[in-house]
Amino acid sequence: MVTEYTSLQSTKGALSIPTIMPDEYWTGYLGRLLIFNGINHGIGHVAANQLLTKLVCEIATDINDLPILVKLARLLKIEVATVVNRHSLIPIIQNSKIKNYESKSSLKRIHTNSFRLIKNGSYFCERCSSDDQHRFGCSYWRKSHQLPGVDWCMQHGNSLHKVISINAMYSAPDVHISNNNFLRSKFGDTSKNNAYVKKYCDLITHYADCHYKIDRKAIVKQLYETAFALNVPINNRSRKLKISAFLIQELPSDWIAEHFSGLIQYKHIPSIPGYDDLHLENNIFKISNLILIVSVFFQNQDNFLYDFMQALDEKRIRVQTKIINKTTDTELVETYIKHMGNIYACSKELSISNKILKKKLLTLGCPGLRLNEPSVWALFRYYEGLPLEEALSGERINVEKVNYTIKAGSYCVHLAIRKQVLSKPVEIIGNY
């Protein structure tokens, strides 16, 4: 069934605009946009930019001079910050938040970094692709699979596959699978089961979702206190920690060579830039390197990184983040089902901000279920096997909200809806 996947956010004349999916990488979305409108997506960026300009030209006259991500944001009628932070790798590439998305310098940075991929190639999870095809009729590219150092799907635990062809993301992952146009992961269980690698993957994924500013100075201070207990080597000349040597010692060599090659390439020099110069406040330091160091040196301290995170919007988010990271995904989903998709009731029970919990649950496929009764019954009938067109045929059904819930939701939505329906009196159930 492809109805829910191909549901449109809007249309302009004869052109169709699909809704962007949660965690969807922006380049993959443009590929879907081109396919929806019958345009040759093999030529990639050129065709996508021309189509975006055509679709958005009615909104602004200076559209040709804007970065493609800004055009995309205007097309979807969402904030530029949302596209940049939720659907691109820019926050990790540039190691900071863009403060003013309208300034010339910010637009230049967006334009420069938008097309950069941190890893060599485009990555997808075969199980995610299969699930997408079953639910939506087609698969899509996820931003979380493109994160540096992440070789396994954080949802399914299986290895990611790589496509190295040009404009790979302009075709869906299932197309590459059917054409056998991908490389299987070369990493075995040694890297996958390494505690430091697992910690790193958890932290980089969380950072990519939340985009906090990290207090690097405070981390350095704590790092020196911990390093001596771990017998970390010290540079005899500078008397500074040899952080790089400890990382090389503790991490799988094949994983380092693939994602942090500088550690291997320069291991013969006294101080490796990007690792041993963490204490120098004025130099630019990759966020992925910083998270790697934290993952190794503070692997057993679950909330260490969160203690040194400075929320970009409001200070209380930092405290809420610590709480939500003490709560397992299973507990969050179970609470969601228990309260039948009522985010407010969930936040009250878990003592977590409604705003933060809503975002976290959405990443787990648990959107809020604030729907009128006909819409709830439409979802229930759909999940029980009725074709979507028939399920939406009743009166007072909010079609837009139902479509969104199906797109954003996982199987836990079915369980929450089912519990909500079965909790109603028998006579009401009989009416439907």
Total Cβ atoms within 10 A of residue 319: 14
Check: CB of residue 215 under 8 Å from CB of residue 319: no
Say what the pLDDT of residue 90 is. 87
List helix spans (H) across 65-194: 68-76, 80-87, 90-93, 104-113, 126-136, 173-178, 189-192
Distances (CA, A) of 312 to 68, 211, 215, 309: 25, 8, 12, 9
Q: What percent of the chain has pLDDT over 70?
A: 76
Least confident of 55-69, 247-261, 309-323: 309-323
- Report the first-to-last Cα separation within the chain, whole angstroms: 24
Say what the pLDDT of residue 101 is. 55
Total Cβ atoms within 10 A of residue 156: 14
Task: Give CA–CA dist 59/259, Å, rounded.
Answer: 42
Task: Give CA–CA dist 8/5, Å, rounded.
Answer: 9
Nearest to 247 by CA among 279, 261, 216: 261
Place of tokens 């990488």: 25
Nearest to 247 by CA among 197, 193, 188: 197
115 vs 323: which has the higher pLDDT: 115
Q: What percent of the chain has pLDDT over 90?
A: 12
Residues 6 or more apart from 99 whose CB is under 8 A from it? 106
141 vs 114: which has the higher pLDDT: 141
Say what the pLDDT of residue 96 is. 54
- The model's confidence at residue 429, banded by pLDDT at 50, 70 and 90, is very low
- Compute the average pLDDT of residues 402-423: 82
- The model's confidence at residue 315, banded by pLDDT at 50, 70 and 90, is very low
Cα dihedral sign, 408-413-414-417: negative
Distance of CA 229 to the CA centre of its chain: 35
Task: Give CA–CA dist 249/233, Å, rounded.
Answer: 11
pLDDT per position as a tens digit, 4-28: 333 444 444 557 788 888 889 999 9
Say what the pLDDT of residue 70 is. 84
321 vs 416: which has the higher pLDDT: 416
Task: Give CA–CA dist 259/236, Å, rounded.
Answer: 28
pLDDT per position as a tens digit, 147-156: 999 998 988 8
- The model's confidence at residue 62, banded by pLDDT at 50, 70 and 90, is low
Least confident of 105-109, 110-114, 314-318, 326-330: 314-318
- Compute the average pLDDT of residues 221-228: 78
Task: Give CA–CA dist 282/18, Å, rounded.
Answer: 44
- Six token digits for residue 109: 């940075």
Least confident of 79-93, 373-387, 414-428: 414-428
Say what the pLDDT of residue 421 is. 81
- Compute the average pLDDT of residues 173-193: 85
Helix axes 45-56, 68-76, angle to 10 degrees: 50
pTM reported for the whole predicted model = 0.66
pLDDT per position as a tens digit, 316-352: 444 455 555 567 778 888 888 888 888 888 888 888 8
- Six token digits for residue 400: 């837009």
Least confident of 164-173, 298-307, 407-416: 298-307
Say what the pLDDT of residue 180 is. 92
- The model's confidence at residue 59, banded by pLDDT at 50, 70 and 90, is low
Between strands 15-18 and 8-12, the pairing is antiparallel
Say what the pLDDT of residue 403 is. 83
Say what the pLDDT of residue 181 is. 92
Q: Looking at the chain, how many residues does it have?
A: 432
145 vs 108: which has the higher pLDDT: 145
Most confident of 63-77, 85-99, 155-169, 209-223: 155-169
Task: Give CA–CA dist 224/216, Å, rounded.
Answer: 13
Least confident of 34-38, 96-100, 220-224: 96-100
- The model's confidence at residue 76, banded by pLDDT at 50, 70 and 90, is confident
Say what the pLDDT of residue 407 is. 77
pLDDT at 176 over 90: yes
Check: CB of residue 376 under 8 Å from CB of residue 417: yes
- Compute the average pLDDT of residues 21-44: 81
pLDDT at 416 over 70: yes
- The model's confidence at residue 374, banded by pLDDT at 50, 70 and 90, is confident
Mean pLDDT of the chain: 78
